[in-house]
Amino acid sequence: MFTGIIECIGTITNIEEQESNIHFTVHSSISSLLHVDQSVAHDGVCLTVTHVQDDTHRVTAIAETLRMTALHTWKTGTEINLERCMPANGRFDGHIVQGHVDTVATCTEKENAQGSWYFAFTYDTEKHKILIVHKGSVCINGISLTVSHVGEDWFKVAIIPYTYEHTNIHSIEKGSQVNIEFDIIGKYIAQNLKSRL
């Protein structure tokens, strides 16, 4: 389990395709602290560490992961958000994040609000609209954020300077694709209501 509080930004240094899988090598300040079999959120996607060497580690994305996420857009040099699993005695500073991406959203607006930023995203409202609520939690590229505005087929989040500087949200522009994980509590409630109806 994760909390959506990003530890550091990693950089993709190598991409290797093997049949339908893709192996990503990541350079980061926490790579040397990792071990094989460890789960780490990469832009909000829970991936298993398969190799560690010095300040780099490697993970593998299978076809299903590539289909459900924006990992297929990664290139050498791409910056990604990294978070290790929450320890049992850790502080819960964000919200419950599983690392299981629900869908890919597209940035439609990036607004400089003179000291903060607003980002707007469109997403698959047919399946997920019920899961976005004003002032609710949403995970974007692994970042725990609060929904500030909600529209028919879009939502906005407000970004403080610290988050802008210490995550890869600063690299998101209009047209960028991001990984979205909706609040797990909302998903359970929606599923329960659906089964009752």
d(CA 43, CA 169): 10
Q: How many CB atoms lie within 10 A of CB 105?
A: 24
The whole-number average pLDDT for the span 129-142 is 93
At residue 34 the predicted structure's pLDDT band, cuts being 50, 70 and 90, is very high
Domains and CATH numbers, the chain: 8-84 (2.40.30.20), 103-196 (2.40.30.20)
Q: Is 100 a catalytic residue?
A: yes
d(CA 57, CA 116): 33
Residues composing the chain? 197
Q: Is 146 a catalytic residue?
A: yes
pLDDT of residue 14: 98
Judged by average pLDDT, the poorest of 33-37, 52-56, 84-88, 146-150 is: 84-88
Beta strands in the chain (DSSP E): 8-18, 21-27, 39-42, 45-53, 56-61, 79-84, 103-112, 117-122, 137-140, 143-150, 154-159, 177-182
Is the pLDDT score of 144 beyond 80?
yes
Q: Is 39 a catalytic residue?
A: yes
d(CA 11, CA 66): 18
At residue 89 the predicted structure's pLDDT band, cuts being 50, 70 and 90, is confident
Q: How many CB atoms lie within 10 A of CB 104?
A: 19
Tens digit of each residue's pLDDT (9 = 90 or more) over 169-191: 999 999 999 999 999 888 888 88
Q: Is 88 a catalytic residue?
A: no
The overall pTM is greater than 0.85 = yes
Q: Is 78 a catalytic residue?
A: no
**Total H helices, total E strands in the chain:** 4, 12
The whole-number average pLDDT for the span 25-48 is 97
At residue 193 the predicted structure's pLDDT band, cuts being 50, 70 and 90, is confident
Q: In terms of C-beta density within 10 A (0-12 exposed, 13-18 middle, 19 or more buried), how is residue 55 classed? A: middle
d(CA 84, CA 54): 17
At residue 39 the predicted structure's pLDDT band, cuts being 50, 70 and 90, is very high
pLDDT of residue 129: 83
Tens digit of each residue's pLDDT (9 = 90 or more) over 98-124: 999 999 999 999 999 999 999 999 998
- Candidate list 20, 29, 32, 48, residue with the active-site label: 48
Is the pLDDT score of 90 beyond 90?
no
